[in-house]
Amino acid sequence: MTAADKPKAGLEDTVATSSAICYLDGDRGVLAYCGYDIHELARHATFEEVCYLLWHRRLPTRAELGDLQSQLAASRPLPEPVIRLMKSLPQGDGMDALRTLTSALSHYDPDARDSSPQANYRKAVRLTAQLGTLVATSGRVNAGGGPIAPDPVLGQAGNFLYMLTGERPSALATRAFDVALILHADHELNASTFAARVAAATLTDIHSAVVAAIGTLKGPLHGGANAEVMKMLLDIGASAGVEKAEEVVRARLARKEKIPGFGHRVYHTEDPRATHLRQMSRDLGQRAGQTTWFEMSQRIEALVKAEKKLHPNVDFYSASTYHVLGIAIDLFTPIFAVSRVSGWTAHVLEQYANNRLIRPRAEYIGPEYPQRYRPVEQR
């Protein structure tokens, strides 16, 4: 291995595959799905249209969208044994439950033994529909409620809020959640998508690839950051005021701790998703008469920008947005998965379509070769 082969820590700036799904320019703060700028999609599209776009690389016609909506609606109800398993799990981390239950879904999938492109597409649609139901129902069951059957009239965003709360969500809450789903749907070779592609490249099944992705998303350096942001805000306390927020964050920075929701491997400027989530956090906070979380977040943003020149990422303002929507912290990262499963499956289908095993090399830095084996009594 030559000096030129030396790996970059964390594979920074390493181009690991070709993909037609997501365009990312970290210097200009551009994110686009199949050529469509995220701002354009956040203003005009629905999550279902975005799913179709990611899976087919083009927006659907009205008839195609109608077909997809029907397929999603038909796929939303969960197999009864999976609901029983959900109820039997100990209460704990929502991502642990999601990982186990997604794995369980594979046992009941009608296409479990079929890995044709058509069956894999059906499984991508099914997984996307089912993950929304899984997370909403888990949230409801953990809060002591009974499962609520999905309503075929509602879309993915409306159904999620309905199955979680048991109440018909307002148009504002539904649209806010729909936009949050759009913003989280894909992000090129982020850690969980890379994990999914590595798994898929062994030609394992799509459920296994999605389970690998869920386990990866859970980490606090990835999707787990949104829950950490809210824990930080709650630790500061709604009544403590913005000065206290500044004091707490300053102390954390002095201790060289990372502030959740800031920094990004690719963006060196504003994360375009944060632009929308900041606005949503402000608008929803004002409507709900709970502006404290937004004000606190803004003060933290200004401080971290001034002290560390770091911008908020997708996780920072999504925390206060979900909190104001009345969603429990334990569901924040699972909600990320409810959206990102569309991107994971799009990447898995792309990987299957033009596959080669992903098997990189490591620079060896261990003991010198060769070492002589000595019997255990001589060591």
Ligand X SMILES: CC(C)(COP(=O)(O)OP(=O)(O)OC[C@H]1O[C@@H](n2cnc3c(N)ncnc32)[C@H](O)[C@@H]1OP(=O)(O)O)[C@@H](O)C(=O)NCCC(=O)NCCS
Q: Active-site residue numbers?
A: 264, 315
Closer to ligand X by Cβ: residue 29 or 60: 29
Site stretch for ligand X (CB under 6 A), options 75-83, 231-239, 257-265, 366-374: 257-265
Q: Which x/- pattern over 292-331 shows residues binding ligand X (rule: CB under 6 A)?
A: ----------------x-x--xxx----------------
Q: According to CB under 6 A, which one of 39, 265, 287, 305 is a site residue for ligand X?
A: 265
C-beta closer to ligand X: residue 140 or 305: 305
Q: What is the DSSP string of 19-83?
A: -SSEEEETTTTEEEETTEEHHHHHHH--HHHHHHHHHHSSPPPHHHHHHHHHHHHHH-SPPHHHH
Task: Report in angstroms how near the CB of residue 309 gets to ligand X at its nearest.
Answer: 9
Q: How far apart (Å, rounded) are the C-alpha atoms in residues 76 and 340?
A: 17
**Residue 258 interacting with ligand X (CB under 6 A):** yes
Contacts 24+ apart (CB under 8 A), 100-103: 101/134, 101/138, 102/127, 102/131, 102/134, 102/207, 102/210, 102/211, 102/214, 103/207, 103/208, 103/211
Is the separation of the CB atoms in 219 and 191 below 8 Å? yes
Residue 222: CB minimum distance to ligand X, A: 6
Distance CA 307, CA 250 (A): 9
Residues, the chain = 379
Applying CB under 6 A, which of residues 264, 282, 323, 347 lies at the interface with ligand X?
A: 264
Handedness of CA 74, 75, 81, 86 (dihedral sign): negative
Sole binder of ligand X in the list 60, 132, 263, 272 (CB under 6 A):
263
Q: Per CB under 6 A, does 225 bind ligand X?
A: yes
Contacting range for ligand X; rule: CB under 6 A; set: 108-116, 134-142, 199-207, 218-226: 218-226
Stretch that binds ligand X, among 94-102, 155-163, 221-229, 280-288 (CB under 6 A): 221-229
* Contact status: 237 vs ligand X (CB under 6 A): no
Q: Using alpha carbons, select from 153, 35, 116 the residue that is nearest to residue 349.
A: 116
Binding site for ligand X (CB under 6 A): 10, 221-222, 225, 258-265, 308, 310, 313-315
